[in-house]
Structure 1
Amino acid sequence: MPHQRFVRVNGIDLHITEQGSGPLVVLLHGFPETSYSWRRQIPAIAAAGYRVVAPDQRGYSGSGRPEGIDQYSIFHLVGDVVGLIRELGEQQAVVVGHDWGSMVAWQTALMRPDVVRGVVGISVPPLPRGSRPPLTLTRERFGEGFYQNYFQQPGVADAELNKDIAATLRLTYAGVRKAEPDPGFLGGIAEPETLPSWLTADDLAVFVDQFTASGFTGGLNWYRNLDRNWELTAAWQDAPITPPSLYISGEEDGVRSFYPMDDAARAIVPNLRGVVDVPGAGHWTQQERPEVVTEALLDFLR
């Protein structure tokens, strides 16, 4: 059975879920999720002979939530992964991420290939560093209302998402896009008639409890470092991500429309072992189609 504990890393406590023994596999969640998003993968990967550890990353659930926005830069996030691997007594791990966790996984493999045996990104592919700040590009392409730009002003999206946490998560995970959106992040999403089959009322309640404890500001602060991260990573311009890699994406994931796995993305992962398109899956890939994602991960690990 998975068990939970805290690990001290880089001056904060990370709450982790772990199970199994063998080569280390680290699972990194996205926004707005927690380690609970890997509930289907953890027992299956552990049963296959691996030590699986899924942290609640900084700013989330029971983990440390530094106040300063600058405490959520890509250097902090990668540092947490490297520090976690070391605190677990290991020298290397296969690092798997979904959504924002995918971005952290790719960056960890880029900056510390000595620590990463293999890297898997789910939903978000490897992103080449562009010639201009990312928020400038999204503003020009999608407008100021694009969610990543909307998230920038401290307190604004925080208040919207924290107002009714159950509604925020229900709409984010299961809502339907409106043809004529209202302002804000949630204004473009209509209430679902029912929860999808992959998300039970009990599952939703777990997420609600976790975000009631933490709020959304920690996760939003990751977005508030997008341009800072671009500045900080200038030294890795055009650098390849060399560890063995895998990319998994739901065929109906809207992220594919603005972060495609195109020739530019493939060019920076010379050791790409495969691309897995998951039929019938949207953005919450490992929750929506756990059996497909788990099997793809096990194939890669083997």
Structure 2
Amino acid sequence: MNRQALRKPLRPSFDFWDRRTPVAAALPEILEGLRRPRKRLSAKYFYDERGSYLFEEICRLPEYYLTRAERSLLERRAREIAALWKEPCAILEYGCGGAEKIGPLLAAARNCRAYVGLDISPEPLLRLLDSLAASYPDVAFTGICADFHSSLEMPLPEPEALRRVAFFPGSSIGNFETEEALALLRRMADTVGEGGGLLIGYDLKKDKRILEAAYNDSRGVTAAFNKNILKRINYECDADFDETCFDHLAFYNETLGRIEMHLVSRVAQTVHLGLAPVEFLAGESIHTENSHKYAPEDFARLAARAGWRTVRRWADADNLFCLHYFETL
């Protein structure tokens, strides 16, 4: 790895590494997904600057209970969680976004010596690092802007003697199919190494009315977030999607235990990505995202297949959300 080529020290108080792949470079992958019998786009394309802003708005919506439930758990349990990390540690946060989740942990973990934040969107990540570096001058901060759906060589904090703890909040693990989730959990286990930990948040299975309301808010913010993927492909891949010709659809698939998000074509139409045409029938959908929901026992079995053992788990008072702490086998 060419450290000098990748490292971009933008501030004196933290390091920042930009490893994004331009969306235009992913045009073959996007076209392949749109030409399948069941069209799909990867959820990683949601998160340009506007997409990240819309997701932050979603997290404030009354229907979207996930963020509030997880934040409440972290605020109430932070000291209890940090007490499990007896040695000086480094926290590696996947999909960090804002400070609301890592903040309580850093405040409680007085033995934290380093923090590595990984996120797909640079603007929220830079704001987070600025804020944290100012608040915790004795912690070494590093930010990595990248997609962690695929294998990623992460610059790890030094010294290597620090105990490494992966932190994966926000129920983002639910966006992965089972085999993809297993692969990511295995990479996390390899990254933290022997004696390392994983604190992960996931959404619990519950009444479908609660689940579906969370992804069909009354203000239409989730619909705008879903359609923004088309806007991004338009300006980054020279496409001509008309978002008014697509409807947002989100529903709970009880058989597969997941929320599915789709964009449904309102009319028969031809869309172009550059010079490449893509045909849509009226009523045909693009599958844009899944959000799997778990029972704690099921998630523990999944994690065990990836090399993790349960240490503790916590649910909120309404049994909506779970924080689960594991250590490597």
Scaled by the length of structure 2, the TM-score of the pair is 0.35
Scaled by the length of structure 1, the TM-score of the pair is 0.37
Point out the structure with the larger helix share. 1
**Bigger Rg, which one:** 2
Point out the structure with the larger strand share. 2
